Amino acid sequence: MSGKLYIIPIPISETDPKKVLSEYTINTANRLRFFVVEKIKTSRQFLRKIDKSFPIDESVFYELNKHNQYAFEDEVIQKLLQGNDVGLMSESGYPGIADPGSGVVKKAHQKNINVVSLIGPSSIFLALATSGLNGQGFVFNGYLPKTESERIKKIKSLNQQVKQNDFAQIFIETPYRNQAMFNDLIKHSFDETLLTIAEDITGKQEWIKTKPIKEWRKQKKLLPKIPCVFILGC
């Protein structure tokens, strides 16, 4: 009988794992010895954090990243088919959501291997829940285009879409570009569009506000260079 592939969410801020992971999530991660990870070093640190005596040296880590072109995926599937449970972890939040990991999950489904998701934090989802914006219909857009003209075009298009069907439009940005994103958003959005900015969710500097664009324009908001989620809505 095949093992199970466990999707293990990781804390998204500097915080006690017990704040953001269920006891069952922590216990399950603790009993696994095979892991598919984004980076071995931080995954080991996480396991030591949930259990100081975690047997790192008796565990096997497969690092999935762009450099090895996910070469280990097939080996992981073999381990699962041989009956071993395997944990999948990214650097932050849910693997496979705005993070690598979905490739190995897809392959697991192809082999009829059971995939189980454990409970933990997702910055996208927590930002939406906290925003007060439309949770009956929403879009996660990932990153907006990098080139200025394309980004502005996209911001304008998202504003139009919000007006048309009221779906919340969620997106993220690399931290050092947060301020530029904010400046573009207040410049190229409708006065009445609501903008949520969610900084350092679950962390010590957590700061989440929803206001109309015209109010954001009045204050010179300085965005820190830390992970942020942006949402447009109505």
Q: Which residues bind a second copy (CB under 8 A)?
A: 7, 9, 16, 18-24, 94-99, 101-103, 105-109, 112, 114-117, 119-122, 125-126, 128-142, 167, 201-202, 206, 208-211
What residue type is assigned to position 119 of the chain? Answer: I
- Nearer residue to a second copy within complex by CB, 57 or 112: 112
Count the Cβ atoms, other than its own, within 10 Å of residue 105.
19
- Nearer residue to a second copy within complex by CB, 56 or 175: 175
- Nearer residue to a second copy within complex by CB, 123 or 178: 123
- Nearer residue to a second copy within complex by CB, 56 or 211: 211
Q: How far is the CB of 57 from a second copy (least distance, A)?
A: 29
| Pairing assessment for the beta strands 138-143 and 115-117 based on DSSP bridges | unpaired
Return all residues near 57 (Cβ < 8 A) that are at least 6 apart: none
Cα-Cα end-to-end distance for the chain: 50
- Nearer residue to a second copy within complex by CB, 55 or 103: 103
What residue type is assigned to position 112 of the chain? Answer: N
Q: How far is the CB of 58 from a second copy (least distance, A)?
A: 26
Q: How far is the CB of 150 from a second copy (least distance, A)?
A: 15
Tokens 């502005």 belong to residue: 152
Return all residues near 138 (Cβ < 8 A) that are at least 6 apart: 128, 167, 168, 169, 170
Q: How far is the CB of 163 from a second copy (least distance, A)?
A: 17
Identify the CA nearest to 193 among candidates 233, 224, 137: 233
Distance, CA of 199 to CA of 127 (rounded, Å): 9
Q: How far is the CB of 106 from a second copy (least distance, A)?
A: 3
